[in-house]
Structure 1
Amino acid sequence: MRRGNIIKLVALVLLVAAAVALSIKPLVDPVKGIPLGLDLRGGVHLVLQAEQDKKGTPITRDDIDKAKAIISNRVNDLGVSEPIVQADYDKKRIVIDLAGVSDPDKAVDILKTTAKLTFRDPQGNIVLQGDDLKDAKGGQGQQQGYVVNLTFSSEGTKKFGDLTTKLIGQRLGVYLDDELLTNPTVNTPILNGQAEITGYDTLEAAAKDAVLMRSGSLPVSMSIAEKRQVGASLGVDSLNRSIQAGLYGLIFIFLFMLVFYRLPGGVADFSLIVYALIVLWVFYMFRVVLTLPGIAGFILSVGMAVDFNIIIYERVKEEIRAGKSLRAGLESGFSRAFITVIDAHVTTLIAAITLYAFGTGSIKGFALTLGIGILASLFTAITFTRLVLRLTVGINPKMNTRWFGVRRDV
């Protein structure tokens, strides 16, 4: 039995050590690792203000919701990693954080453009709008140059077919926000719902207009109310300082647990390593964007995980002082501390869920990392720590109780 516990404990330690070694590279990979937010990676912070038209038409909540959805689609088409797009209904604004953006002016150009697509006859009358457009993609032209390939919906296909049938031999102007993109002559009816806008010098220009057309036109015009760029160097400095502070805190916690709780303290330190691995891998798997508030939530959850271990160990010490053996004191202490630990977890988790549900931006990040940390600490405190202590006590059930911080020989 004793030999079996030693083998299991050694295997567990080696398994955790291997997990740590194998986790370092994927977790810290700058491209595929845990995604970093604007404050850690650098990028651009934008505030777009909705503006009334010349008629003074009121801007509704529905307008802001539609604008937010369209801007979100445009951001996704830009390929920005883990963007944050939020609506401020009171001020009629949309707040956007784009981490890792290298060309903020290009992003601003695409995001705030109204992108109203229209088709006009030779007299300049609007004969078809882009509402029936299904898809738009930039690509290489059949002859030379670059084009935007348009695909209409089933209803749009019929409308476009009727239009091109009527305008054979005439020019059909294609406009984006009242700017002429192309003015081709209609030679034959286009009945298959496929059209091509030519005249682009670069694939980038064609792809840009395709993004605007594909995402749809904004219901209101947007202007830049705020534009703030966060340098990558500032983000790196913030990240380095956060990591440094976290390491100092962990070292202090490890020493504190070892000095005051002896053997259980060492087990708690070992459990904290497992806890950190679980949390970081959850961040990695679910692409949780790590920000400074998020790091604060993670560090707070580390402190709570240690606190839960302290509650359990104090209960165990009480049972041993009452005369119980190490094994019996361990089981009884965990059982008695269970309700307290669960209660603390649940109440804090409720607070985290509330913050996430009603908060915005950085508050959501803080709440999310705190919630994930709470669930991970519940697992490590109740199951992993208990398993390791059982194996340790099983190696020598008659060990001196001073290893548990209790001055009594069993």
Structure 2
Amino acid sequence: MLYFARWKLLFIFAVIAIGLLYAVPNLVPESQRFEMRNGEVTEEAQGVWRFLPHDSVRLGLDLRGGSHLVFEVDMEEVRANRLEGLLEEARVALRQDPAIITPRPAIVGGEVVVRVNDAADLDPAYERLQRLSQPIGNPATGGGTARTADIRRDGAENTIRIAITDAALDDVQRRTVQQSVEVIRRRIDATGTTEPTIAPQGDQRVLVQVPGENDPQRIIDLVGQTAAMSFHMVDPTVSIGPDGQGRTPPGVEILPQDNPAEPFLAVQRRALVSGENLTNAVSTTNQSGQPAVSFTFDTTGAQAFGRATQQNVGQRFAIVLDGVIISAPVIRSPIIGGSGIIEGNFTFETANDLAILLQAGALPASLTPVEQRTVGPGLGQDSIEKGEIAILVGFVAVIIFMLLAYGMFGAFSTAALLVNVILILGALTGLGATLTLPGIAGIILTIGMAVDANVLIFERIREESRAGRSPANAVETGYSKALSAILDANITTFIAAAVLYMLGAGPVRGFAVTLGIGIITSVFTAFLLSRLFVAMWIKGVKPKTLPI
């Protein structure tokens, strides 16, 4: 009746052993688990820890300390870029065969204005430009009624005006924020930071929390840089004044250079290759051992770069990052392999940061830091100590209640509860999940839920015992009949935790993680482990009545 198959016993003991194995490193100081260099802990485990799990649970920003920043997306820049895109699309549409001759379209008052020379061309031009207005969303799902552009014609002035609709701006704004979040995530993840929090905040802001990073300015430099890269030929014929204000012919512009000896250079506006064609960028060293960044183009970029270097041997080309020339080498020979090295006044850290920026891609719009603060590790340690006290107080209170209410059975539930906490800690460590202050609250809630399952079981056993069943039969019936209620309660709570994890961010996710893990371990310890304890006691003592 209370028989446990051998495989079931092996499963229970294996789960407990694995959980204990991953939980133990949290009780051993880092100095005993890892090697020390110059007084700092390295990532290399030492001694027996090389062959055992040696990482401790990861702590979130509120427990470990770090940087908290909020960036705002420059939506005026997004609007301006969209208008420039509409302007270029309008020019391309009017140049299609047969071409419609018009003065150059211009942006006036937040609109693209197209003026036709011949009134007879107004209607054909309007029909072509109407194609620029596309539906927003998927018509099959109820979208598609809003349009990307509002196109109007004025026969009296022979003009057509193209304006971005509010719905299109909202859609572009939403997509820009989402793209910014993904680019920022790739940049932060490449630094090796553990479990950063990167999420939209409001309509045009992005929240960035980086545990363990106490220099918010480095995060601002890494995240706030647009990282729009392009390659341009240098025009040596332009006379550049000392302040970079020389006159330039059409198609040429003067850009600042990260070189005090040559602060400005004139370059062709048309880019040879853009950063969109980069497939890889890593920090390296040049032939002199100085920090540099190596890059690799995709097939299209490699072909374009190869043609440009073949045609301009002996000339200089500029590597431009966010409007600043970071390097302007001379083309000694054609570069046809699709790869090269960027040299400049780099340190190893700045070279690595530049490689991260290029690898992650360019931001769709500029980001401005509007809030920044550093959470000190002392505050995090204080939160940890308070959380430990809260868990201890809750644990002791639950133990006292169970012992007073259920006697020997309360002792079994207490042992199962202790194993439950160990399994939660081991699961957090093994899965690499991050423990936050709300996560500690989730552990405390889990303790209560685990006891709730035991209460359901023990009350059912008490009812069966009062009905005259034997101790073994009462225990078996109590566990069997309480199982459905326990599963129903825990499954619905687990679904809620999963929804919180998928839709939440930051502290909400931290709570959902420990709650979800705690639900699984609670069912395991409350139903299987405590049942094993009771079965072993009944088989060993063979009581005539149950002390419950």
Aligned position for 1:379: 524
Aligned position for 1:334: 479
1:214-363 correspondence to structure 2 within 5 Å: 214-363=359-508
Q: Secondary structure at the match of 1:200?
A: coil
Give the superposition deviation at 1:354. Answer: 2.6
Give the superposition deviation at 1:79. Answer: 1.4
Q: Give the conservation status (yes or no) of the 8 Å contact 1:315–1:337.
A: yes
Q: Does 1:94 align with 2:206?
A: yes
Q: Aligned partners of 1:300 and 1:157: how far apart in 2?
A: 57
Aligned position for 1:408: none
Q: Aligned partners of 1:294 and 1:259: how far apart in 2?
A: 29
The structure with the largest helix share of the pair is: 1
Give the superposition deviation at 1:128. Answer: 1.9
Give the superposition deviation at 1:120. Answer: 1.3
Q: Does 1:369 align with 2:481?
A: no
Q: Give the conservation status (yes or no) of the 8 Å contact 2:72–2:205.
A: yes
Q: Secondary structure at the match of 1:364?
A: helix
Q: Does 1:33 align with 2:46?
A: no
Give the superposition deviation at 1:43. Answer: 0.4
Counterpart residue identity of residue 24, structure 1: V
Q: Give the conservation status (yes or no) of the 8 Å contact 2:23–2:429.
A: no
Q: Give the conservation status (yes or no) of the 8 Å contact 1:115–1:176.
A: yes
Aligned position for 1:65: 178
Q: Aligned partners of 1:179 and 1:312: how far apart in 2?
A: 70
Counterpart residue identity of residue 213, structure 2: V
Cα 1:27–1:118 change in 2 (3 A) is farther
Counterpart residue identity of residue 232, structure 1: P
Q: Aligned partners of 2:492 and 2:19: how far apart in 1?
A: 31
Residues 150-203 of structure 1 deviation map (CA, whole Å, 9 limit, x = unaligned): 111122111110111122111101111111111111111000011111123421
Residues 96-130 of structure 1 deviation map (CA, whole Å, 9 limit, x = unaligned): 11000032211111111001111111231232211
Q: Out of 209, 233, 248, which is 1:121 matched to?
A: 233
Aligned position for 1:104: 216
Give the superposition deviation at 1:238. Answer: 0.4
Q: Secondary structure at the match of 2:69?
A: strand
Q: Aligned partners of 1:397 and 1:369: how far apart in 2?
A: 39
Q: CA RMSD in A?
A: 2.7
Aligned position for 2:294: 149
Give the superposition deviation at 1:360. Answer: 2.6
Task: Give the TM-score, by structure 2 length.
Answer: 0.68
Cα 1:20–1:356 change in 2 (3 A) is closer
Q: Give the conservation status (yes or no) of the 8 Å contact 1:27–1:34.
A: no
Give the superposition deviation at 1:84. Answer: 1.2
Q: Aligned partners of 2:367 and 2:465: how far apart in 1?
A: 69
Q: Aligned partners of 2:363 and 2:484: how far apart in 1?
A: 53
Which shows bigger deviation, 307-316 or 141-150? Answer: 141-150
Q: Out of 20, 40, 45, which is 2:68 matched to?
A: 45
Which shows bigger deviation, 140-149 or 183-192? Answer: 140-149
Cα 1:182–1:364 change in 2 (3 A) is same
Counterpart residue identity of residue 190, structure 2: D
Give the superposition deviation at 1:305. Answer: 0.4
1:206-217 correspondence to structure 2 within 5 Å: 206-217=351-362
Segments of 4+ in structure 1 off by > 6 A? 15-19
1:131-142 correspondence to structure 2 within 5 Å: 131-142=276-287
Which shows bigger deviation, 168-177 or 331-340? Answer: 331-340
Q: Give the conservation status (yes or no) of the 8 Å contact 1:43–1:230.
A: yes
Aligned position for 1:393: 538
Q: Aligned partners of 2:20 and 2:437: how far apart in 1?
A: 23
Which shows bigger deviation, 212-221 or 345-354? Answer: 345-354
Identity %: 34
Q: Give the conservation status (yes or no) of the 8 Å contact 2:498–2:512.
A: yes
Q: Aligned partners of 1:167 and 1:306: how far apart in 2?
A: 77
Cα 1:151–1:374 change in 2 (3 A) is same
Q: Secondary structure at the match of 2:59?
A: coil
Cα 1:26–1:241 change in 2 (3 A) is closer
Give the superposition deviation at 1:138. Answer: 1.4
Give the superposition deviation at 1:233. Answer: 0.4
Structure 2, unaligned stretches of length 5 or more? 1-8, 31-42, 44-54, 83-168, 236-266
Q: Give the conservation status (yes or no) of the 8 Å contact 1:121–1:173.
A: yes
Aligned residue-pair number: 396
Which shows bigger deviation, 18-27 or 331-340? Answer: 18-27
Give the superposition deviation at 1:21. Answer: 8.3
Q: Give the conservation status (yes or no) of the 8 Å contact 1:138–1:210.
A: yes
Q: Aligned partners of 1:329 and 1:169: how far apart in 2?
A: 93
Give the superposition deviation at 1:35. Answer: 0.5
Q: Aligned partners of 1:302 and 1:356: how far apart in 2?
A: 20
Q: Aligned partners of 1:41 and 1:22: how far apart in 2?
A: 20
Which shows bigger deviation, 38-47 or 333-342? Answer: 333-342
Q: Aligned partners of 2:540 and 2:386: how far apart in 1?
A: 42
Q: Out of 184, 195, 199, which is 1:82 matched to?
A: 195
Which shows bigger deviation, 366-375 or 111-120? Answer: 366-375
Q: Which has the larger radius of gyration?
A: 2
Give the superposition deviation at 1:361. Answer: 2.1
Aligned position for 2:24: 24
Q: Secondary structure at the match of 1:86?
A: strand
Counterpart residue identity of residue 131, structure 1: E
Structure 1, unaligned stretches of length 5 or more? 1-8, 406-410
